[in-house]
Amino acid sequence: MYLNSICWISSIFLVSVSITGFISGGVLMISDFSMFFEWEVTSMNSSFLFMTFYVDWMSLLFLGLVSLISSVVIFYSKSYMSNELNLSRFIGLVLLFVLSMILMIFSMNLISILLGWDGLGLVSFCLVIYYQNVKSFNSGMLTVLSNRVGDVMLLFSIIWMFNYGGWNFLSYLEIFKMDKIMSGILMLVIMAAMTKSAQIPFSAWLPAAMAAPTPVSALVHSSTLVTAGVYLLVRFSGGMSVEMGTTKFLLIVGGMTMLMAGISANFEYDLKKIIALSTLSQLGLMVSILCLGFCELAFFHLMAHAMFKALLFMCAGLMIHSFLDSQDIRSMGGVSVGMPLVSLNLNVSNLALCGMPFLAGFYSKDLILEMILMSNINFLIFFFFFFSTGLTVSYTVRVLYYSNWGGTKFSSFYMFHDSDYVMVNGMMVLLVVSVVGGSGLSWLTFPFSFSVNLFGIKKMLICLFILSGVFLGGGLSYVSWVLKNKSLMKMTMFLSMMWFLPFLSVYSGSVLGLKSSNLLLKVFDLGWLEKLGGQSSYFYFHNFSNLNYYFQLNSLKISLLSFFFFFLVVLCSM
């Protein structure tokens, strides 16, 4: 009863914060108004430390979205985590996670951003290792160590900005474009954002973090941890120019991340990892479109993506529960018959991910692709965007085929249903948001009417790539002969393992560190330090004691003579 009260109070409070944030953000957007709040904490060597909070339409809308998803996730956790003994600790960690994200949302100071940034990394580590097993411990260490790279980059940027008398970066955004020394701070911030948003080569931790409970995945991979890097880039976008080398570098990295995640998701069979790779692909899309100068469009897609991605994770959690904790999509089937409400939510969220017209994802993805067609870009960037869009449709069709359209594939008969109305009601809230949220956000983000006019083949390109994704996903669902061919099986393993990125970025470093530590252990600890230290001292003291022992027992004359000379030395010294 006490824990239910905590869940209800937390959910109601976060819903009220969400409504306030959306209404206030809409008012500030229409009135084109923003506010600064500054508190001078201390001053040192003419550098003033201010806690700066910037309230504008963007931060308030993001606050409303984070609060809404957090409230639904906590409500969902009341049933999903009902058998946990430490549910109060879990809810406390989730609330602390949300508080860290809110601190970062409103911060315009690098030091206060670092507080929220570190809070996200620390609490995410506690949530990933929540189940206390070997897999979760490994995933937690990989997550926290990857994010520590971003923490170090932010610390370097704070040290660098100490030379300029303050850490409020809003005042220096225009200088970033002109001053090469100041642009180094921007490069450090970009590297920090790459670690948090899991861009190449820091992508390995995102699928590994699926060891966390599903409500954590719904919150972390939709609107908080992984989007923190993109949100930081949105805030620093005023100092980024399309002609800058760092921006071009980030554009290539985002495109490669988008392509790599889309290909890997088409060869993955773990349901949660497929959704995680989908998140990684969309993060690459956000970073890439931001580097082309469309900052508000990247933020719009970030908001729209969070709505249906949280719903997708919640559907996956209920399905995993019903299928006896199996996450393999090949063992699933018949969801549309046995769990019609879950199937409805799953289909809507997947169609929103594909950009189905008039769902949440359509308004952002269609606008992104149309702006790409209107931009002056080379063929490589065009390939990244459109081929990755087709891959998104492909792995979505593949998931729907295995879960909905296939027959039941149980090894033993098991009754599965969606009568857990606590989790289903939580999903229904996000279902409504996934349907109508895209249009509402488009009106708030772009209050002035505009149109994109495309003609001929350009107008049909989006439809062609979507249809090609449908056929590719359907074909991959039926392919079984790949596993019988050794060469194709190796290629499949390469594509499903994120181009062996985990081995290159994680395991190779671990192996190198272990080999180096073993070499140091053998050469120094067990080698020269023993020879010159403990073993050598033991050898000399042992020989000396044996000699002394021999003199005392076997040669009384030598012993008495030695004592006499020692006595004379003592008398002379006195």
Query: What's the pLDDT score for residue 21?
Result: 86
| Confidence tier at 515 by pLDDT (50, 70, 90) | confident
Helix ranges (H only) for 179-244 are 180-196, 205-208, 214-220, 225-235
| In the predicted structure, residue 371 carries a pLDDT above the cut 80 | yes
Helix (H) or strand (E) holding 54: strand 47-55
Query: What's the pLDDT score for residue 16?
Result: 87
Query: What's the pLDDT score for residue 355?
Result: 82
| Confidence tier at 5 by pLDDT (50, 70, 90) | confident
Check residues 513 and 390 and name the one with the higher pLDDT. Answer: 390
Check residues 285 and 523 and name the one with the higher pLDDT. Answer: 285
Helix (H) or strand (E) holding 374: helix 360-374
The span from the CA of 256 to the CA of 281, in Å, is: 9
Instruction: State pLDDT tens for residues 325-348.
Output: 778 887 777 777 778 888 888 888
CB 63 within 8 A of CB 97: no
Check residues 433 and 493 and name the one with the higher pLDDT. Answer: 433
Check residues 528 and 385 and name the one with the higher pLDDT. Answer: 385
Type of residue numbered 230 = V
The span from the CA of 155 to the CA of 163, in Å, is: 14
Give the distance from CA 5 to its chain's centroid: 30
Instruction: State pLDDT tens for residues 112-137.
Output: 888 888 888 888 888 888 888 887 88
Check residues 116 and 567 and name the one with the higher pLDDT. Answer: 116
Mean pLDDT estimate for the chain? 79
The span from the CA of 301 to the CA of 370, in Å, is: 14
N- to C-terminal Cα separation, the chain: 85
Matching residue, tokens 């107008």: 459
Give the distance from CA 308 to its chain's centroid: 17
Instruction: State pLDDT tens for residues 377-395.
Output: 788 888 888 888 888 888 8
Check residues 431 and 470 and name the one with the higher pLDDT. Answer: 431
The C-alpha angle 310, 315, 318, rounded to 5 degrees, equals 130
The span from the CA of 507 to the CA of 167, in Å, is: 37
| In the predicted structure, residue 481 carries a pLDDT above the cut 60 | no
Mean pLDDT, rounded, for 18-32: 84
CB 153 within 8 A of CB 189: yes
Q: What is the DSSP letter of 203?
A: -
CB 99 within 8 A of CB 226: no
Closest of 19, 52, 21 to residue 35, by C-alpha: 52
Buried b (16+ CB within 10 A) or exposed e, 193-218: bbbbbbbbbbbbbbbbbbbbbbbbbb
Check residues 194 and 138 and name the one with the higher pLDDT. Answer: 194
Query: What's the pLDDT score for residue 519?
Result: 77
Collapse the DSSP code of 53 into the 3-class scheme (helix H, G, I; strand E, B; otherwise coil) and give the result. strand
The C-alpha angle 102, 103, 107, rounded to 5 degrees, equals 115
102-106, 261-265, 306-310, 551-555: least confidently modelled range: 551-555
Provide DSSP, 135-169: HHHHHHHHHHHHHHHHHHHHHHHHHHHGGGT--BG
Type of residue numbered 536 = S
Quote the radius of gyration of the chain (alpha carbons, Å): 30
Mean pLDDT, rounded, for 410-423: 61
Provide DSSP, 481-522: GGGG-HHHHHHHHHHHTGGGHHIIIIIHHHHHHHHHHHHHII
CB 87 within 8 A of CB 64: no
Query: What's the pLDDT score for residue 556?
Result: 64
Buried b (16+ CB within 10 A) or exposed e, 4-22: eebbeebbeebbebbeebb
| In the predicted structure, residue 412 carries a pLDDT above the cut 50 | no
Query: What's the pLDDT score for residue 364?
Result: 84
| Confidence tier at 158 by pLDDT (50, 70, 90) | confident
Query: What's the pLDDT score for residue 327?
Result: 81
Query: What's the pLDDT score for residue 418?
Result: 65
Type of residue numbered 332 = M
CB 49 within 8 A of CB 287: no
> What contacts 319, CB < 8 A, 6 or more positions away?
271, 332, 335, 339, 342, 346, 403
Q: Is the dihedral of CA 375, 379, 380, 386 positive or negative?
A: positive
| Confidence tier at 574 by pLDDT (50, 70, 90) | low
CB 268 within 8 A of CB 277: yes
The span from the CA of 195 to the CA of 556, in Å, is: 77
| Confidence tier at 478 by pLDDT (50, 70, 90) | low
| In the predicted structure, residue 446 carries a pLDDT above the cut 60 | yes
Instruction: State pLDDT tens for residues 43-78.
Output: 666 666 677 788 888 888 888 888 888 888 888 888
Query: What's the pLDDT score for residue 479?
Result: 61
Query: What's the pLDDT score for residue 555?
Result: 63
